[in-house]
Amino acid sequence: MLDTSQTGTQFSYWNHLNASGIVWNMSGAHEWLKEVETCLGNLFALMHYGSGQSGRGTKLSILCWVNTVLHPRNMYWFGGHLNVVTLYNKTQTNTGSQRLISRSLEPCVGQLFILWGSLVVPALVCLATSIRAPSTAEATQLHMLVFTSLNREWDSDDLSSILSSISGEPVADGGLGHLMGLAATWHVLIGIMKRHLHNLVDKYKLTDELFNEQSGHGEEVAKHYSLDFSSIWNFPEECLRIFLSLSQVTHKLITG
């Protein structure tokens, strides 16, 4: 960033020095931070789409590179892959235990995350500290959280917006042509696993229970995800019409 022979004045000016020895090009630095945020969003999508059954936004938004006082870090190296390991169990208050779920990143995606964590994250912390005096919380979140920006922590809505932006692109541009946030993507990915990957069950000695386990739910709950056309065919047409009427009443209420 400080080598003007490589980056010109994108990040700093060589002919003006202050007490710290660096005069930052604030405009260029903030432009780079925007590109970093876009890149991180793309990394999230790669992880979410390609590491097995998708996770929930509440867990994804707090993924950490390092151990914290609240929970252990979530990034681990195992079996030649970078793995995202989370703890989840809706019924933990009843069972007294949490469920451990692991998702392995595709090797090339895992390598990108390793480069990101080892090179980009330290650069972000350094730049944030240099261009302004961030609060302790800001410096900590950049160093700690996997998915965050300089100004604030990302939440489920941010992650959902990222997926919607990417999936909403035309198919010709690499998108799906349809906006799909976290919830819709979850159903679609589970549907893909059900339809196209279960033929590999015998080869890898897998079971439906394991597929469901990685999604954080049991078999009974799994039946209600990724509804297919047969679910609609078996549904009484009269009930569909009643629900249609209820929706139309709501439409009138909203539109006045």
Indicate the range of 39-48, 73-82, 219-228 predicted with least confidence.
Answer: 219-228
Asked whether the beta carbons of 64 and 146 are under 8 A apart, the reply is yes
Task: Indicate the domain borders of the chain.
Answer: 4-255
CA 248 to each of CA 232, 241, 254: distance values in angstroms, whole numbers, following the listed order: 20, 10, 10
What's the token pair of residue 40? 């991180």
**pLDDT single digits (tens) 62-91:** 899 988 887 788 888 888 888 888 876 554
Give 245's pLDDT tier (boundaries 50, 70, 90).
confident
On average, the pLDDT of the chain sits at 77
- pLDDT for the residue numbered 219: 58
pLDDT digit string, tens, across residues 89-132? 554 555 556 667 788 888 899 999 999 999 999 888 888 877 76
Architecture of domain 4-255: Orthogonal Bundle (1.10)
pLDDT (0 to 100) of residue 174: 82
User: Is residue 143 pLDDT above 60, yes or no?
Assistant: yes
- Helices then strands, counting H and E runs in the chain, come out as 14, 5
Q: What are the helix (H) ranges across 85-217?
A: 92-95, 107-115, 121-131, 136-144, 156-167, 182-192, 201-204, 208-215
To 5 degrees, how large is the angle CA 82–CA 86–CA 90? Answer: 155
What's the whole-model pTM score?
Answer: 0.74
* pLDDT tens-digit series, residues 187-216: 787 777 777 666 666 655 565 666 666 666
Which residue, among 167, 157, 141, 150, has the nearest Cα to 63 in the 3D structure? Answer: 141
The pLDDT of residue 137? 56
Question: Residue 255 pLDDT more than 90?
Answer: no
Place of tokens 């090179």: 119
- C-alpha distances (whole Å) from 199 to each of 63, 205, 230 are 32, 11, 20
CA distance 36 to 33: 5
The C-alpha atoms of residue 251 and residue 207 are separated, in whole angstroms, by: 44
Residue type, 249: V
Query: For 7-21, 50-64, 77-91, 217-231, which range has the lowest pLDDT when averaged over its residues?
Result: 217-231
